[in-house]
């Protein structure tokens, strides 16, 4: 037991000459779910809110009940929008008259049955529509923005449309261009605009030059500057923050969202590939419209781009348990299995397979790095086992090298890996640092697919991060059985905090890395190749303990890597004893994350209250004293000269 009561002097003893099990390279990954506008208005760089005008589309069988959406199984979710053209407004000046409305006549296609109809009776000096984006559009002076929109008129009628990037009230114009002769049947138009000035809260305007009627659909504006310049791409600052974690894997699309509010509302990957005008959006389980522009292909591309394996969660033939699951009849589960097989063929299949050919057509000839499939999320029902077997047999038959992950341990069914989730307060995390010490080594491997210290910790303070660090040291110590982990949720827009603690928070211009982010980055970057037996003396029970420590060996660099959490509110000087080590370098590298106030938090306004500091300290030999700041995570990297 590697713990110590706060008042006692401490010694950390490492048996350097008794290396234990290997620490898998898969241990630290990330979990993405469309929650808190993580993707829509966040990671996904689309700037137009409600670009497809489908926001009022309900999951099958659901109804609006005042400000709520109610499913047939009586689950209620918030209704996030205020009117049927949410995000859009009619704009007029100089005596212009006209209106906008949602229209379902002559739709663009079956997946986009609604469009916006703009009728201008009197053009005045300006008449048209504007979209303010997700809490304002961020324009940066000198940068380019690429606009595409679909438009039609009632017949042969043609209009000129002026498109502009402007201030929220329209008084300042940063860029504009005229698209001439818009009209006739549905057609896609493209315009590029360079902002001559910056505005963090601007809007897009489309105005007409005379009286008439025009229909718009899939109006899309992307900054030219996106992560790795991928089209239909990602906001570079958020994507880079994720890439900086160097995650071994990315789990997507969730979370509860994989199940959905009901079966119709589950994530349906086929709606999320191909040209954006052909995609079908979803009123997602977290109560807001998702265009599915950030879809199956983009998730896989992101994994590949950041060198991570993809972990895809499929629907198991029923919707989310917690939200009064709707079950597919037993004879229809095969359709859900086929849906999963088709997804895998898209990701991994040869170019001459049906779905592999689609991947090629969408610009990716080679297979994607999809390595894991989790069948469902947090499913606890009895049906799960029966469905799991159907999915597992079919997937294994075609893709024997994939690792399948189960939500439960199943009686009489061999399972390679199970997903354990943990949310709680700091006390529960500190005491769970030994949770896997006695885990069954003969059973399935464990993936801690969601964890976060999210209770009694403000919006995610230093105490939360240290509690997670102590817990993660426990996972690493047991990484012969716990082979993967991912914090959840990952991302949160400042204006839609559906879940309090999240790893990164952002608004339209800024991203803040919470202290939990720094903990994961430090632990992942300092993942050793093998663990070393580590004990804190004197020993104590987990409850009320102050120190948690774990050492390992980085065999490539020949370094002893020692990680220590000091959760007490006081500086602690500890004796570090490295038994059986070779000759050591005179200096060790020390990376420390700490703050005197354990309730301190990073925020958008003050993003660097808690950041790691990298220094070096002199060490006197295999036994030395080291001061651990109050409320800290410390990583010591000590080079062994002759091994
Ligand atoms: O991480 C947020 C939610 O918490 C996930 O969607 C769900 O799996 C869990 O209950």
Higher pLDDT, 398 or 3: 398
CA of 450 to the centre of ligand 1 (A): 7
Core vs surface per residue 50-66: b (16+ CB within 10 A) or e = bbbbbbbbbbeebeeee
**Nearest to 256, CA basis, from 336, 316, 300, 321:** 321
Among protein residues, the one with the nearest Cα to ligand 1's atom 3 is 255
CA of 500 to the centre of ligand 1 (A): 12
Residue matched to tokens 């979209």: 131
The predicted-structure confidence for 161-210, as pLDDT tens digits, reads as follows: 999 999 999 999 999 999 999 999 999 999 999 999 999 999 999 999 99
The predicted-structure confidence for 415-427, as pLDDT tens digits, reads as follows: 999 999 999 999 9
Strands of the 623-628 sheet, one edge to the other? 534-537, 10-15, 572-579, 623-628
State percent of the chain over pLDDT 70: 98
CA of 321 to the centre of ligand 1 (A): 11
**Nearest to 603, CA basis, from 591, 611, 594, 614:** 611
The pLDDT value recorded for residue 313 is 98
The pLDDT value recorded for residue 3 is 46
Pocket mutation for ligand 1, best pick of 32, 378, 449 (most atoms within 8 Å of C-beta): 378
The pLDDT value recorded for residue 557 is 96
**Residue 538 — very low, low, confident or very high, per pLDDT cuts 50/70/90?**
confident
Check whether 591 has a pLDDT greater than 60.
yes
What does R_g of the chain's alpha carbons equal in angstroms? 27
Residue matched to tokens 């097989």: 341
Q: Is the pTM of this model over 0.95?
A: yes
Q: What are phi and psi of 633, to 5 degrees?
A: -115, 125
Pocket mutation for ligand 1, best pick of 33, 491, 496 (most atoms within 8 Å of C-beta): 33
CA of 284 to the centre of ligand 1 (A): 13
The DSSP 8-state label assigned to residue 39 in this structure reads I
Q: Where are the alpha helices (DSSP H) in 153-235?
A: none
Separation of alpha carbons 123 and 131, rounded Å: 19
411 is written with which tokens? 């009686």
Residue matched to tokens 């000459």: 17
The pLDDT value recorded for residue 2 is 43
Separation of alpha carbons 149 and 151, rounded Å: 6
494 is written with which tokens? 């400042």
- Measuring from each residue's beta carbon to the nearest atom of ligand 1, which residues come in under 6 Å? 33, 35, 254-256, 377-378, 450, 488-489, 499
Q: What are phi and psi of 433, to 5 degrees?
A: -65, -20
Check whether 462 has a pLDDT greater than 80.
yes
* Residue 378 designated active-site: yes
Min mean pLDDT across 5-9, 82-86, 271-275, 357-361 is at: 5-9
251 is written with which tokens? 């789990």
Separation of alpha carbons 132 and 118, rounded Å: 17
Locate the ligand 1 atom nearest the alpha carbon of residue 31 and give its number.
1
Query: Among the options 378, 476, 559, 601, which is catalytic?
Result: 378
Task: Note the Cα 557 to chain centre separation in Å.
Answer: 32
Pocket mutation for ligand 1, best pick of 322, 447, 450, 504 (most atoms within 8 Å of C-beta): 450
The pLDDT value recorded for residue 7 is 52
Pocket mutation for ligand 1, best pick of 254, 449, 498, 503 (most atoms within 8 Å of C-beta): 254
Judge contact between 226 and 234, C-beta under 8 A: yes
Judge contact between 468 and 452, C-beta under 8 A: yes
Locate the ligand 1 atom nearest the alpha carbon of residue 254 and give its number.
6
The DSSP 8-state label assigned to residue 33 in this structure reads -
Locate the ligand 1 atom nearest the alpha carbon of residue 449 and give its number.
8
Locate the ligand 1 atom nearest the alpha carbon of residue 450 and give its number.
1
Q: Rounded mean pLDDT of 526-537?
A: 97
Q: Rounded mean pLDDT of 107-123?
A: 97
First to last CA, the chain: 29
CA of 256 to the centre of ligand 1 (A): 5
Judge contact between 128 and 208, C-beta under 8 A: yes
Locate the ligand 1 atom nearest the alpha carbon of residue 378 and give its number.
8
Check whether 541 has a pLDDT greater than 70.
no
Locate the ligand 1 atom nearest the alpha carbon of residue 423 and give its number.
4
CA of 296 to the centre of ligand 1 (A): 19
- Other beta carbons within 10 angstroms of residue 366's beta carbon come to 10
Among protein residues, the one with the nearest Cα to ligand 1's atom 5 is 255
CA of 2 to the centre of ligand 1 (A): 31
Core vs surface per residue 490-529: b (16+ CB within 10 A) or e = bbbbbebebbebbbbbbbbeebbbbbbbbbbbbbbebbbb
Full DSSP string of 80-107: --SSTTTTEEEEEETT-EEEEEEE-SS-
Among protein residues, the one with the nearest Cα to ligand 1's atom 2 is 489
Separation of alpha carbons 33 and 476, rounded Å: 25
Q: What are phi and psi of 226, to 5 degrees?
A: -130, 165
The predicted-structure confidence for 41-76, as pLDDT tens digits, reads as follows: 999 999 999 999 999 999 999 999 999 999 998 999
552 is written with which tokens? 């390992």
Among protein residues, the one with the nearest Cα to ligand 1's atom 8 is 255
Alpha carbon of 6 to those of 41, 138, 369, 555, 574: distances in Å?
45, 49, 46, 33, 12
The DSSP 8-state label assigned to residue 327 in this structure reads B
Separation of alpha carbons 195 and 175, rounded Å: 5
Check whether 84 has a pLDDT greater than 70.
yes
**Residue 79 — very low, low, confident or very high, per pLDDT cuts 50/70/90?**
confident
Separation of alpha carbons 326 and 318, rounded Å: 5
Locate the ligand 1 atom nearest the alpha carbon of residue 256 and give its number.
6
Separation of alpha carbons 231 and 50, rounded Å: 19
CA of 378 to the centre of ligand 1 (A): 8
CA of 375 to the centre of ligand 1 (A): 15
**Nearest to 639, CA basis, from 556, 536, 529:** 556
């Amino acid at each position: 037991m590697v713990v110590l009561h706060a008042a006692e002097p401490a010694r950390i003893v490492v048996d350097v000459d008794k290396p234990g099990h290997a620490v898998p390279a898969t241990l630290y990954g990330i979990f993405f779910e469309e929650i808190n506008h993580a993707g829509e208005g966040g990671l996904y760089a689309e700037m137009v809110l409600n670009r497809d005008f489908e926001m009022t589309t309900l999951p099958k069988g659901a109804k609006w009940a005042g400000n709520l959406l109610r499913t047939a199984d009586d689950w209620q979710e918030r209704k996030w929008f205020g009117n049927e053209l949410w995000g859009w407004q009619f704009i007029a000046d100089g005596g212009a008259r006209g209106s906008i409305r949602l229209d379902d006549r002559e739709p663009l296609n079956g997946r986009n049955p609604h469009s916006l109809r703009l009728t201008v009776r009197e053009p005045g000096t300006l008449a048209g529509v504007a979209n303010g984006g997700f809490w304002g559009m961020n324009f940066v002076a000198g940068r380019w923005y690429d606009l595409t929109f679909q438009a039609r008129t009632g017949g042969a009628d043609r209009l000129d449309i002026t498109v502009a990037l402007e201030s929220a009230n329209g008084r300042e114009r940063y860029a504009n261009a005229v698209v001439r002769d818009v009209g006739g049947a549905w057609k896609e138009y493209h315009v590029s605009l360079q902002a001559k000035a910056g505005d963090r809260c601007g809007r897009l305007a489309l105005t007409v030059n005379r009286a008439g009627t025009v229909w718009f659909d899939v109006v899309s504006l992307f900054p030219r500057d996106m992560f790795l310049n991928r089209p239909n791409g990602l906001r570079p600052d958020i994507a880079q923050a994720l890439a900086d974690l160097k995650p071994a894997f990315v789990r997507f699309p969730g979370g509860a969202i994989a199940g959905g509010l009901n079966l119709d509302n589950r994530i349906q990957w086929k709606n999320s590939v191909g040209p954006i005008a052909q995609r079908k959006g979803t009123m997602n389980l977290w109560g807001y419209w998702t265009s599915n522009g950030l879809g199956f292909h983009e998730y896989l591309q992101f994994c590949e781009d950041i060198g991570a394996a993809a972990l895809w969660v499929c629907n198991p033939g029923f919707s989310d348990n917690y939200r009064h699951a709707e079950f597919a009849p037993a004879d229809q589960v095969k359709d859900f299995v086929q849906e999963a097989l088709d997804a895998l063929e898209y990701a991994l299949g040869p170019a001459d397979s049906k779905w592999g050919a689609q991947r090629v057509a969408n610009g990716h000839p080679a297979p994607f790095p999809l390595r894991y499939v989790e069948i469902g999320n947090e499913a606890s029902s009895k049906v799960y086992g029966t469905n799991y077997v159907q999915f597992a047999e079919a997937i294994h038959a075609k893709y024997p090298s994939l690792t399948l992950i189960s939500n439960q341990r199943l009686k009489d069914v061999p399972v390679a890996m199970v997903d354990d989730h943990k949310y709680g307060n700091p006390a529960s995390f500190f005491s769970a640092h030994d949770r896997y010490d006695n885990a069954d080594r003969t059973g399935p491997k464990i993936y801690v697919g969601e964890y976060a210290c999210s209770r009694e910790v403000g919006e995610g303070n230093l105490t939360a991060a240290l509690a997670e660090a102590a817990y993660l040291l426990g996972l690493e110590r047991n990484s012969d059985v716990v082979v993967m982990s991912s914090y959840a949720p990952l991302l949160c827009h400042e204006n839609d905090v559906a879940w309090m603690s999240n790893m990164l928070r952002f608004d339209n211009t800024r991203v803040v890395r919470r202290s939990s982010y720094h903990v994961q980055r430090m632990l992942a970057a300092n993942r050793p190749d093998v663990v070393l037996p580590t004990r804190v003396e004197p020993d104590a029970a987990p409850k009320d303990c102050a120190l948690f420590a774990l050492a390992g060996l980085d065999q490539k660099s020949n370094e002893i890597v020692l990680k220590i959490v000091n959760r007490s509110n006081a500086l602690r000087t500890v004796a570090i004893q490295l038994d059986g080590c070779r000759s050591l370098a005179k200096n060790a590298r020390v990376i420390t994350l700490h703050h005197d106030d354990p309730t301190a938090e990073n925020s958008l306004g003050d993003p660097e209250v808690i950041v790691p500091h990298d220094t070096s300290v002199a060490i006197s030999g295999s036994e030395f004293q080291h001061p651990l700041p109050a409320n800290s995570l410390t990583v010591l990297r000590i080079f062994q000269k002759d091994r």
